[in-house]
Amino acid sequence: MKVVSRSGDTLAYYSELFQIPKVLLEDANPGNSEGILPMGIEVQIPGFVTVRESRLGATLNDIGQRSQLPIDALSLVNQVEQDAIAVPVRITNPLLDIEKPYEYQSLLDDLDILSFHYPFIQIESIGKSVLGKELLEVRVGQGEKVIHYNGSFHANEWITSAVLMKWLNDFLLAVTNEGTLSGVDCMPYYQNVTLSIVPMVDPDGVNLVIKGKQAAEGKFDVIKMNNGNPAFYAWKANIRGVDLNNQYPANWEIEKQRKLPKAPAPRDFPGELPLSEPEALAMKKLAERRNFERVIALHTQGKEFYWGYEGHEPENSATMAKEFEARSGYRAVRYVDSHAGYKDWFIQEFKRPGFTIELGKGINPLPLSHLPGIYEESVKILMAGLCI
């Protein structure tokens, strides 16, 4: 929601008027955080929408009493027309409908919705996919400690993108209403942590799984790579047939030597070289630029998570693993016979906690009917990842 500033207005006054933390107003209106606002400028009020209410037979006092709003709030919004007035309404329910096949356009649409209503979030392209789709990172918060989450490293695990976007929506809702999520007060984490989310690492592959061969735009023979099968439900790789979570220089040579197939395929091919794929390289550069405190990568399936790599994990990883296990019921696994994953590389390079969370149980892609249960389990881990 936007208002037009009047003589003598400040963000502190708006904070009191709309009962919203001043820090959110400051982040939504950079450059106007201190002192009196310039008169006549548009000011973003996050977490509110306006609804039109008939003014026929009613005064501003009547509408204010009915909506439990100060008259000054109505006057500030004050887009009065002949027969209606815009009434500010606090957003108290999630805005996103994520219970649908979650392809790339779904992500773009939902990010537009969230950035419009919560303008203090930052959305940045960190690179492009093979087919030129923007790889988007969302950042929320003010803290120097940056905690990173990602989803859809594997194409047919797109439900992880839906989980992350639902969690982001719920987190923003809790912050603007000074509420809790999974029993955790969210505002302190907004102030002390910066949350980094890449909801969809492999947008080309996700679109291929959901939309079929037309998603390849005629540039890659995905039917041939898929052994003639026109159904792509088992496809994990990017559009070039490279498994993005086998692309990292953490004993990549071992995976290259032992992995089958030896050429582009729906899954497991680690590429001809490490970091040959733009999606994998973008994620590496992001970790180096942001200097993440920890990394949590969402995958499916198995109801377990992996938290160690070759003895490089720090001592506090074990503490976090125990907490994740206790909260979610997922099984903690320290080591598996696997290399070249994003979590593996991060732990090896930074000596900081990294986790691969295998959400849900079944056959990928997990059906949407599993989403409520998966979210109920995963939100406990996602919140614990901020708290510990």
* Catalytic residue list: 358
Taking alpha carbons only, the member of 102, 197, 200, 212 closest to residue 154 is 200
Q: Tokens at residue 267, please?
A: 């899954």
Closest listed residue to residue 168, CA positions, set 146, 189, 140, 134? 140
Cα separation, 203 vs 222, whole angstroms = 15
Radius of gyration of the chain (CA): 23
DSSP letters, 141-173, are: E--SEEEEEE--SSGGGTHHHHHHHHHHHHHHH
Q: Which residue has the tokens 């901020």?
A: 386
Short-list 196, 309, 294, CA closest to 250 = 309
Give 70-130 as a 3 state SS string.
CHHHHHHHCCCCCCEEEEEEECCCCCCCCCCCCCHHHHHHHHHHHHHHCCCCEEEEEEECC
Tell me if residue 301 falls in helix, strand or coil.
coil
Residues contacting residue 207 through CB under 8 Å, at least 6 positions apart = 103, 104, 215
Rounded CA gap, 205 and 222, in Å? Answer: 10
**Which residue type occupies 329?**
G
Q: Indicate the SS3 state at residue 286.
A: helix
The torsion angles phi and psi of 206, rounded to 5 degrees, stand at -60, -45
Nearest to 6 by CA among 84, 77, 89: 77
